[in-house]
Amino acid sequence: MEILAKITMKTIDCQPAPRSVKEKTELAHIYGRAERVSEGSTTYGIFHKYKGNFEAVNLATGEVYRSGTLLLPEIADAILLQGLLAAGATLGKEKIGNTPGVEGERVQGDPVDFAVSIGVIPMESKDDTGRGYQFTVKPMMEVTAADPLKALRDHTASHRKALSGPAPAHEAPASSTAQTNAHEPQKGSGTGGKRK
């Protein structure tokens, strides 16, 4: 496993060279917990940078990468961004009350868990980007509100079950007749019997 400053298709060696994609190919699985998002722009357009805990698997090599920062291809970015915004996150800074010039913390909302499979398909030569391919995305789970304690609850529940083992077998109480007869002398044994 390798720790990266940020996970992108390039840093996990899953960025195809221009005009190199000849058939539909799955490239990577990316999953994790996104806690906040910021927006930026370059000459290539707007991008979103996610902060949280992320892991990516390069499907060609099996290499595993981890990082606290994630940038996704546009088609996958839309899925995660929608989930975070629905959980209450915002992209910009908000003013506190009516005080001019005073900015507060960005509203983070609740963290979300997600898992996606990123792939590529070839594109016609009229592709405006000049790449000759486009990314595809297949959600591996719904983007859901994170439950930080779920794994611990599941672990402790299975641990408790393993420790308890099968329920002990209970012996049936002896009948009252058997208890009464146990104190009476048996016929033909001990004292009081006639000898032949």
| pLDDT value for 167 | 57
d(CA 69, CA 33): 11
Where do the domains of the chain lie? 2-153
Q: Give rounded-to-5 percent helix, strand, coil for the chain.
A: 20, 35, 45
Q: Which of 73-87, 100-114, 130-144 has the lowest mean pLDDT?
A: 100-114
Bridge partner list, 136: 119
pLDDT in tens, 144-174: 887 767 667 776 777 667 766 665 555 555 5
**Highest mean pLDDT, choosing among 9-13, 40-44, 86-90, 94-98:** 9-13
The mean pLDDT value for 67-74 works out to 96
pLDDT for the residue numbered 2: 97
CA 35, CA 9: separation in Å to the nearest integer? 20
At 178 the pLDDT is 47
Number of continuous H segments (helices) and E segments (strands) in the chain: 3, 6
* β pairing state of 2-3 and 64-70: parallel
* Mean residue pLDDT across the chain: 79
**Residues 14-34 pLDDT 10s:** 999 998 999 999 999 999 999
Q: How confident is the model at residue 94 (pLDDT cuts 50, 70, 90)?
A: very low
Question: Hey, what are 195's tokens?
Answer: 């000898």
Can you tell me the distance from the alpha carbon of 142 to that of 135, in angstroms, rounded to the nearest whole number? 19
